[in-house]
Amino acid sequence: MNWEADVFAPEASPEDKREQLRMTLLQRYGVVENELTQLPAPWYGWEWRMAGTEWLGPPGEMPDGLGELLRDRWLVAGTSLVFLQVVSPESDPFPEGEAFLDSLRVTATEPAAR
C-alpha cells in the first residue's frame, strides 16, 4: 500500500483525475493501455494484473511450476492517490486477495472546521 497526498488539483473533476492517472500510468510507468481496467463505481481508478514467475519470497521455497499473480490498483481519493497491491499464488484456489481489494473503501475527508 502507498499513499501520495496532493497529487491531483482540487478543482479537477473525478473523471479528469482518473484520466490524469491513466496517462501517468501509461507514460511514467510503462503500463500497456489494453492491460488497464477501469474500476467500477464508486471507485475512480485503474487496475492492472500480471501473472509472473519471479519469486519474491524466501530463496528456494517457490514450488516448481508455481507463478505469482499481481493485482495493482490505483485509486483517486480527493486530491490523493492510493496504491494497493496484492500478490498471491497464480493458481490460488482461495481468492483472499480479490476479497481483500473488493472489501476496502477509500474516502476523502475534509479537514475539520475550527
Please give the helix or strand (H or E) that residue 19 lies within, else none: helix 14-27
pLDDT on residue 19:
96
How remote is the C-alpha of 37 from its chain's centroid? Answer: 10
Side chain identity, residue 102: D
26 has pLDDT over 70? yes
C-alpha cell at 52: 509472473
Backbone angle region of 29, left / alpha / beta, with phi > 0 → left and psi within -120 to 50 → alpha? alpha
Model confidence band, residue 42 (pLDDT cutoffs 50, 70, 90)? confident
Report helix, strand or coil for 43.
Answer: coil
